[in-house]
């Protein structure tokens, strides 16, 4: 498994977001839609994640969990 994919899976878990929540959050903030298979491949190590995906997770990790929950509550993610 590529090292970046391990980092992606670990960071995704550390911010307590599911793959679906991550995809929706990226779409909401950037307007870019990620395919379900893309994040799945990043988590499983089939593909190396984009550097900006890792950076995005690093930024999210700096937000305290209670504050992130409040942000997501105020701005619900569209399906």
Residue 35 counted as domain residue: yes
Residue 36 counted as domain residue: yes
pLDDT at 77: 62
Residue 79 counted as domain residue: no
Residue 53 counted as domain residue: yes
- Overall average pLDDT of the 11-22 stretch: 88
What pTM value is reported for the model? 0.75
Domain containing 51 equals 3-74
- pLDDT tens for 65-76 read 888 777 777 766
The total of structural domains in the chain comes to: 1
Distances 21 to 5, 27, 39, 57, 72 between C-alpha atoms, Å? 18, 10, 11, 12, 10
Report whether 47 contacts 41 (CB < 8 A).
Answer: yes
Which CATH number does the domain housing residue 25 bear? 1.10.260
Residue 29 counted as domain residue: yes
């Amino acid at each position: 498994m590529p090292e970046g994919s391990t980092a992606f899976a670990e960071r995704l878990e550390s911010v307590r977001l599911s793959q679906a929540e991550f995809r929706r959050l990226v779409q909401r903030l950037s307007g870019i839609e990620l395919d379900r298979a893309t994040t799945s491949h990043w988590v499983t190590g089939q593909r190396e994640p984009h550097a900006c995906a890792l950076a995005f997770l690093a930024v999210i990790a700096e937000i305290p969990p209670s504050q992130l929950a409040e942000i997501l509550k105020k701005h619900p993610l569209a399906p």
